[in-house]
Amino acid sequence: MRPLSAFLALLLLVGCEQKQDPATRYDAKALLKQKCSQCHNLDMPPQTSPDEKAPPMMAVTFHVRDFMKVANPAEKRRKFIDFVTDYALNPSAKKSYCDKKSLESYGVMPSQKGNITPEELQAVAGYMYDHYDPEKFMKIMTERARLAAMPAYKRVLEQKNCLGCHGLKKDKVAPAFSKIAKRYRDNPDAMAQSIRHGSRGKWAGFKLAMPPFKDLTPADAKAVSEWILKEAR
């Protein structure tokens, strides 16, 4: 009996521990969206608008992180979670790290009691701390700047991996750009259309269809078409 009861006790303990860790118990990202996004924009970098109801969550997180006084950096995450959990349930102008002017324009956040539980909040706050990470943000911005500095055609080739399927002069799983350039010599606009809408069955010997790239702007599709006409002859 003894080993069995010890085993059962262990099972119980393990079960308990799992229950107590909000980070694994909840889908914090989904909760954040569900419970907080009607007022806080969640994007990184954030989208701001003149009639927003609250500061973007990235701004909130950076702000609280910076202004919170924590003697021991190892405790920062824990303290952040405690602050956010408490603030969302019992907000007040006095507790807020928001500057006076913003507080006046937004008004103090309404308590989220009844909308979200303390345990759920802990999970959400932990996710906020990890997700809205200043280093991650810098990386995103650096990458954006790198892409923005590229000529449009080059950015499209890289982002959509056109040359993964097309060779410049050689067929791969898709016809060589040089062949396509011949067919569309006088018609970069038709080619651009085709790139945005995809293509199937127009090139004998190629079984694959080309997926549509609908998220390309017409200008970007035109830029890459013109590049193909110029470079792939």
Least gap, CB of 215 to ligand HEC (angstroms): 10
Q: Is 103 in the site for ligand HEC (CB under 6 A)?
A: yes
Per CB under 6 A, which of residues 64..83 are in contact with ligand HEC?
64
The Cβ of residue 132 has, within 10 Å, a number of other Cβ atoms equal to: 21
Q: Which is nearer to ligand HEC, 66 or 135 (CB)?
A: 66
Binding positions for ligand HEC, 2-31, rule CB under 6 A = none
Residue with tokens 């923005």: 148
Q: Tokens 């009996």, residue? A: 1
User: What sign does the dihedral 117-103-50-48 (CA atoms) show?
Assistant: negative
**Secondary structure letter of residue 47 according to DSSP:** P
* 223 scored as a contact of ligand HEC (CB under 6 A): no
Q: Which burial class, exposed, middle or buried, applies to 20 when counting CB atoms under 10 A from its CB (0-12, 13-18, 19+)? A: exposed
DSSP 8-state secondary structure symbol assigned to residue 226: H
Residue (137 or 160) nearer to ligand HEC, CB: 160
41 binds ligand HEC (CB under 6 A): no
The reply on whether position 224 binds ligand HEC by CB under 6 A is yes
- Token pair recorded at residue 18: 């799992």
Contact between 181 and ligand HEC per CB under 6 A:
no
Give 53 or 185: the residue with its C-beta nearer to ligand HEC.
53
CB of 25 to ligand HEC, least distance (A): 16
Amino acid in position 28: A
d(CA 87, CA 91): 5
Per CB under 6 A, 194 contacts ligand HEC? yes
Give, rounded to a whole angstrom, the gap between the first and last alpha carbons of the chain: 83
Query: What angle separates helix 76-89 from helix 118-131, to the nearest 10 degrees?
Result: 130
CB of 220 to ligand HEC, least distance (A): 9
**Residue numbers of the site for ligand HEC (CB under 6 A)?**
35-36, 38-40, 53-55, 60, 63-64, 84, 87-88, 91, 96-98, 103, 106-110, 112, 116, 124, 156, 160-162, 164-166, 173-175, 180, 191, 194-195, 199-203, 206, 208-210, 213, 224
